[in-house]
Every structure is written in C-alpha cells, then in structure tokens.
Amino acid sequence: MGHDQTNPPTSKPEDSRFGLDEGHGGTGQPHNRSGYAALALGALGVVYGDIGTSPLYALRETILAATGGDETAAVPRDVVIGVLSLILWSLVVVVTLKYVLLLMRADNNGEGGILTLVALAQRGFDRARGRGVLFLGMAGAALFYGDTVITPAISVLSAIEGIKLVTPALNDYVLPIASVIMIGLFMVQSSGTQKMANFFGPAMLIWFLTLAGLGIYHIADDFGVFASINPWYALRFFYDHAGVSLAVLGSVCLAVTGAEALYADMGHFGRGPIRGAWLYLVFPALWLNYLGQGALILADPTAIDNPFYRLAPEGFLLPFVVMATLATIIASQAVITGAFSLTRQAIQLGLLPRMEIRHTSEHTSGQIYIPRLNWLLLLVVLILIWSFRTSSSLSHAYGISVFGTMVVSSMLAFIVIRRHWGWSWPATCAIVLPFLVVDVAFFSANMLKLLHGGYVPVLLAVCLVLVMGTWVRGTKILFDKTRKTDVPLLELVGMLSKSPPVRVKGMAVFLTSDPETAPASLLHNLKHNKVLHERNVILTVRSADTPRVAEEERVRLSRITDDFWRIEMVYGYMESPNVPKGLAILRKQGFKFDIMSTSFFLSRRSIKPSPQSGMPVWQDNLYISLTKSATDATNFFQIPTGRVVEVGTQVTV
C-alpha cells in the first residue's frame, strides 16, 4: 500500500453481490409475504444466474464424456439414465444438502461466503494456525476468480452457439458476437447495475418457467427417464462404465456451478428467500429440463449435438436463443459483481493493495465498480473466448475452479462446526466428511482435464495466491521493520509538553496503522516544519470481521492530553472507509470537527529492495511494484484532496 496507515492483515468474510434489503440478512425472516416474495425474486436473478444456465451445456458435455466425445455415436439407454441420475443427485447432495441446509447455517452476522468461514475458523486459533486458515481462504478466493472469468465466456458462447441451429451460415460469427456482448457488458459496469438488477429477477423467473415447461413438454418422448430418480442408476453407472467414470464425473460438476452463490449472497436475501427459491422453483425447473433433454436424446439420438436448443419447438428457436443469451448475460453480471465485492473484501482483509473503488448507487453500498479489475477481467474473458473458441472446449477449464473452492469450503466448514459450533469429533466427521469426499472426488475428476484447459484456473489461482502471499508477507516485514525505529507516541507527547514547538491554528489528523507509536508523518512535520497544530488526532482505520458496524460503534475517541487525541475508526468488511464522515460522527460526542480547518497528514513510503528482507529479490520487486500500483490513500479513505499533506519517507525491505 505504500503508506503509513496501511492496516496489518485481519480476517473478515467475503463476497455478496447486491446490497438489497439488509434487514433480512441471514435470518430468513422477512417482515411479510410480499417482502419474502420480493427477496426470493431478487435471488433468482443474482444468486441463481450461474447455475440456471448450466442446462445449456451440462448434460451434453456429460454424455459426450461418456461416449468418448463422438456426437455421431449411438447413446446407450443406460448411459442417459445413469448420467441423469448423477446430475440429479449431485444437485441434491452438493447444492441442497451441503449449501442450502448446512453451510447457510454458518453465517457471520447474517453474511456468508468463503471468507466468512475464514473469519469464523480463525477465532480462537493462535497465529500459526490462523495463517493456515488464512492461506485456505486465499486459495479459495483465488479459485473464485477463475470462476469469474470462465463463467461469462462459457455461458455466452454456449448461448450464441444456438444460432448455428437457426442457420449454419452464422457459424463464423459466433466468436465476434460473443466478444461484442462481452465488451458491451463490461463497458456498462461503470454506470452501475441497479436498474439491470431490478430486471434480473423477473427475467430469470421467466427463464426458469421456460426451462420447466420445455422439460415437461419433452418428458413425454420417453417417460423412462423418471427411473433416474433412483440413485442406484448413478452407482451402477460407475460399475458398468468404470473406464470413463472419472471423465463423466468431471462433466457432471457443470450442473452445480454457481452453488457457492447461495451461501455468498445470504446476507442480502436471507436464508428463507434463497432456500424457498431453490426448493420451490430453481431445483424443480432444472431437474425437469434435464429430464426433458434426456427423454429427447432417447427418442432422437441425433439431438446430442445440442439437446438444450433441440427442446425448442419449431419456430421458437430464435426467440429461445435470444432468451438464453439474456440469461447468460445475467449470469455473467452476477459473477462480475461478485468479483468486485470479493476484491473489496480482499483489500480490507489486507490480501491485496488498495484499488480505486467507485460506488454506483446512493442507496446500496454493495453496488461498486473497480475500473482496473473490470478491464483486466474483460481482457482475460476475451482471451478465453478466442483461445478455446467453443463452449465444449472451455468446459474442460471450468470444474477445477468451482470444486477447488468447494473443497476449501468443506475444510473450513469442518473447523467452524468443530470449534465454533462446539460439535463433537464424531458428529462433525459424520456431517462434513461425506461432503468433503464428494467435493474431492469431483475435484480429482476435473484434474484429468488439467492439460486440456484445466491449467487455466490453476495458473490463475497460483498467480493470485502468489500476489496475495507476497502482499501479506511484504506488508508484515515492512510493519515490523518500521516499528523497530518508531518512537512511542506517549513518549513523544511527553517530550513535546516539556519543550513545545511553535503552535498553529486548526486540527491535524495523522493516519497510522499503529496507534501506540508516533506516525512518521507527525515526526517529519515536526522535523521539517517545526510546528504543531492546536489539536492533533492520531487516527487508525481498522477493519472489523463483521459485515457492517453500527454508527454508534463506528468511532472510538480517547484523550491523551488537551491537544492530543486518539481516534479509532472501524468499518465492516462490506463497507468502504470514509474518514470525513467518520470524524463528523464525533460532533455528537462534543468533539469539534470542521473539515475546512483540518489538515490530513499521510506518509508516502518509497520502498527499496534489500537482500536482508527475508524474501527473494524477485518477491521484493513484486511487492514494490504492488505498492506502486496501490490507489492513493486520499481517494481510498475519501479524504478531500485539498486538505491532504503527504510526507515522503524511504524504507528498505
């Protein structure tokens, strides 16, 4: 971060997508039925966009994996029934039992997500074990970014590929059309997504009803697909087709992508609306659609080339392609916004350097836009589209990031249930280990695709973990090194009272990460300007491990002397720091604050590499480059630029 006010890493939870009704966070108890319905409708567009577009490609890719990828080969009946059973019971076990019934109970003041588990799991651990938990959180967050770039690419590609069925002449235009849609989607991010979000829910309601309707329409092609309800057919598939079972399992996972969103967005919609939307609409609609696709394939084996679009009656294909494209755009929007939220959490957590964060809504704090991340995501998505060229090729890269995150979630859930909930070892193992076994099985199956596209999320995750680890380690080294030369604040205040410098009118606010030591900006102001303000505030901005902090708990004021004060400002992980607004709260406590007579002193460090830093030279240089890329603290803390004085210092690490 390159400034004296850099916060050392602390833990807090993660990712929610849209700041809707916070009053329902995690409780599942809305005020009335209309409020419950509104939240459930909102959850359809935000929470279920990703998993709701899985039928576009999941069944096709799974059956092709079972038949060796040959679209012209005859598909045996037992393969279709077995694959349908695998998909159905994956939705039951992974989504319904693990996320809807279990993990949604593990909330932090109503918020969910993988970093929620990190915050809960770290409580009560010593520093060494806490670092291990933090590393798990870093790995899970890094894998989530893989999902963020692959979901838009594969979803939009699979939707646009439907135009080949309308007319083969448009085949050459699939990639350009998908690219134009992606560019347009990322370009509108800066204007905010509030109006789009209001449209998401109703649009996805129509989408899920359409999925269910088309599924029911085609189930009559072969009622034998209902045999897939029996899990015996899923188990029998592994016995009869052992040679391709892992490859098939690696494709079945495509049906449960987006399950993490149920947990991550719990704080904005509540347990009840998310569970209700899943149990009463989303799950039945997905199941019926998969059954319809399976019945169609049994009745017409040539439909395997694109069973999803073959469901559409003649004359309705083009509108269906348009509807599917809209649904994939909504799914893409959800994960893009999730990436923005996760990045803000990572910054607050101390895992990444500060970035410019713009708020795009006056009413919902969750509506944010991060320019640098937005254009980086667009670049990676376009590279994926033009490198893999088809949704089938890109599907090989999908599962590793999804189930890598799920494995981490299960491991963290084990710690939380054992330590935070206080369950016994046998009970914890009985509940969590079956889910962990399933997650590891899916993850292992997807590792078979490592050389066929699976390396994309792995490389991305490795790079991000390296960046996060370097930032955390470098920040700690810098903090420890500067602390050795720091002057205790009380000692300095005592010296100034005995030998006071020239006083000037107004108030000076010195930002620091350590309220016990004198900020470098204060020492340099005394050294070079040889003056001291009438009122001096040592300000520390701290991140809490709760989603939000009540206004009455936002600011803590303590008096050192008549002219020196300590102020601690606390923000939740779902909030962006605003120092002037925080100081204005103190007026209610009788502390006079006038922004026009206040100067904010920040220390800007110029960092030089050192062989004795404890890190390799390349990691030193990486850390230094990250500090240079960090957004200016003035903007990050929303301080008026005209009231800021920056003091430069040089430090070697």
Strand duo 564-571 + 368-369: pairing: unpaired
Q: Is the pLDDT of residue 10 over 70?
A: no
| Cα end-to-end distance, the chain, whole Å | 14
Residue 485's pLDDT is what?
A: 65
- Say which CATH number the domain at 170 has: 1.20.1740.10
Residue 419's pLDDT is what?
A: 84
What's the total number of domains in the chain? Answer: 2
> Does residue 10 fall inside a structural domain?
no
Residues 467 and 490 both lie in one domain: no
Q: What is the mean pLDDT of residues 427-444?
A: 93
Q: What are phi and psi of 458, to 5 degrees?
A: -65, -50
Residue 268's pLDDT is what?
A: 66
Q: What is the mean pLDDT of residues 575-591?
A: 83
Residues 646 and 590 both lie in one domain: yes
pTM above 0.85, yes or no: no
Domain stop point among 441, 472, 503 = 472
Residues 221 and 282 both lie in one domain: yes
Residues 127 and 33 both lie in one domain: yes
Residue 282's pLDDT is what?
A: 95
Alpha-carbon distance 648 to 409, whole Å? 42
Q: In terms of pLDDT, which residue wins out, 132 or 22? A: 132
Residues 389 and 505 both lie in one domain: no
Residues 225 and 369 both lie in one domain: yes
Alpha-carbon distance 603 to 646, whole Å? 6
Q: Is the pLDDT of residue 528 over 60?
A: yes
Domain that holds residue 153: 22-472
Q: What is the DSSP string of 550-574?
A: -GGGTEEEEESSSSEEEEEEEE-TT
Residue 15's pLDDT is what?
A: 37
The model's pLDDT over 108-150, given as tens digits with 9 standing for 90+, comes to 777 777 777 887 887 767 666 777 888 888 888 888 888 888 8
Q: Are 575 and 548 in contact (CB under 8 A)?
A: yes
Choice among 52-56, 73-77, 177-181, 321-325 with the minimum mean pLDDT: 73-77
Residues 509 and 465 both lie in one domain: no
Domain stop point among 472, 495, 528 = 472
The model's pLDDT over 221-250, given as tens digits with 9 standing for 90+, comes to 999 999 999 999 999 998 888 888 888 988
A 10 A CB-CB count for 74 gives: 10
Residue 59's pLDDT is what?
A: 93
Residue 133's pLDDT is what?
A: 84
Domain stop point among 472, 505, 526 = 472
Residues 420 and 495 both lie in one domain: no
Residues 188 and 320 both lie in one domain: yes
